[in-house]
Structure 1
Amino acid sequence: MVERRQSRASRLTAVLHALMVVTIIIYPLAVWLGLKSWGIGILAPVLVGVFVLRLLTFRGKISQLTALGRTAAIAGVIFASASWLLHETQMLLYYPVAVNGLLLLLFGYSLIFPPPIVERLARLSQPELPPQAVQYTRRVTQVWCAFFIVNGAIALYTCLKGDIALWTLYNGGISYLLMGLLMGIEWIVRKRLQRG
């Protein structure tokens, strides 16, 4: 009986976690649809709830990625709460800028205090990396830093422009396409280097 309850609770937690991750990934689309359908008075408290639940579901050992996730969730709570209290939709638009800034800090910090984040991720699947692979992971981390600077600047521009359709298009579509393109290019380059 106790095991069944624990199993149900575990499944419920997993489902909630998955829903929160999806909501955060589709954040720009959720904001756009929420503002059109409900307005800030309903959307902002819902987003506060999503980010608070996200904070409460972090488990396991503390790592830089966990710290990043928690910080991003705290930023989400702050922006959504400010929007709710001020009845101002503009505050909701700055969340993607904050996430890019946090990712830049994480990746940049790992360049100053090695190993770089990409090397750490690579060592999860291949613990023994040759020296040229270590150098390559450093370069890839630098490229991601440049990406987060440019992406964050464009995200900030879309916030300042105040056009919700442009903001949603870039932050909920184009930005993800560019990220996917960069990942695809990096994968192709890595495979060629591994062969050569």
Structure 2
Amino acid sequence: MRAKQALSIAGGLAVIGWPFAVWLAISYPKLRILLPCLALCFVLRLCALRGKTGALSQAFKGLALAGTVLTIASIWMREAQLLLWYPVVVNAVMLALFGSSLFTRMSLIERLARWREGDLPPEGVRYTRRVTQVWCIFFIFNGSVSLWTCLAGNVHWWTLWNGMASYLLMGLLFAGEWLIRLRVKRRYE
């Protein structure tokens, strides 16, 4: 169990540290030694997810595989700019995951809410569907800005957006949704 937790932590650090490691590898070519370490972190993330099922786990496996492939391709082709595309891939995969759930009986957020809360009233179902839609809008916006930073070719803007601003916006969205959820729950209780 501890080995799985260590693998999960290493994989999580790879995802969070990705923008800064990429910035260092592109800005300071002598630090491209970081690339094999990043590839290893993504492989460890894949190992930690082995045996897990479900749409979310499959998406995380796909993202770990994409990170591994981009990193190995960057090493092999000696082209670190390929690494800039990982946040675009992440946003596209998450948009596909959240968006496709809107065409099923239960949205992704509703599934997560039912896992935590059990049964949901009709108001809760509507609310979770709306939250799923908001996340889809976020992934479209964030992915578009990430794509723009890739195409602009300015690694400093790319790092600022993908290493800080997008995480801050995501945190604000989580916090804002949590506060709204508390109000909605109180209103219907």
Give TM-score scaled by structure 2 length.
0.92
| Structure-2 residue corresponding to 1:148 | 139
Unpaired segments ≥5 residues, structure 1: 1-9
Whole-angstrom CA distance in 2 between matches of 1:47 and 1:38? 15
> How far is 1:41 from its partner?
4.4
| Structure-1 residue corresponding to 2:105 | 114
> How far is 1:105 from its partner?
0.3
Unpaired segments ≥5 residues, structure 2: none
Aligned residue among 30, 37, 43 for 1:52: 43
Encode CA deviations 1:48-100: one digit per residue, 9 max, x unaligned: 22212211221444111110110001111121122112111110000010000
Contact 1:93 1:159 in 2 (8 A): yes
Whole-angstrom CA distance in 2 between matches of 1:51 and 1:90? 18
| Structure-1 residue corresponding to 2:184 | 193
* 1:23 partner letter: A
Encode CA deviations 1:16-71: one digit per residue, 9 max, x unaligned: 32122122122101222344456474233222222122112214441111101100
- The count of aligned residue pairs is 187
- 1:20 to 2:8 alignment: no
> Secondary structure in 1 aligned to 2:84?
helix
Aligned residue among 23, 35, 54 for 1:32: 23
| Structure-1 residue corresponding to 2:82 | 91
Contact 1:40 1:88 in 2 (8 A): no
> Secondary structure in 2 aligned to 1:112?
coil
Whole-angstrom CA distance in 1 between matches of 2:21 and 2:182? 36
Whole-angstrom CA distance in 2 between matches of 1:52 and 1:11? 17
> How far is 1:154 from its partner?
0.1
Contact 2:25 2:32 in 1 (8 A): no
**Which has the higher mean CA deviation after the structures are superposed, 74-83 or 53-62?**
53-62
- 1:180 to 2:157 alignment: no
Whole-angstrom CA distance in 2 between matches of 1:142 and 1:67? 21
Aligned residue among 65, 71, 93 for 2:56: 65
* 1:108 partner letter: G
Whole-angstrom CA distance in 2 between matches of 1:77 and 1:23? 11
Whole-angstrom CA distance in 2 between matches of 1:147 and 1:13? 31
* 1:64 partner letter: A
Give TM-score scaled by structure 1 length.
0.89
> How far is 1:168 from its partner?
0.6
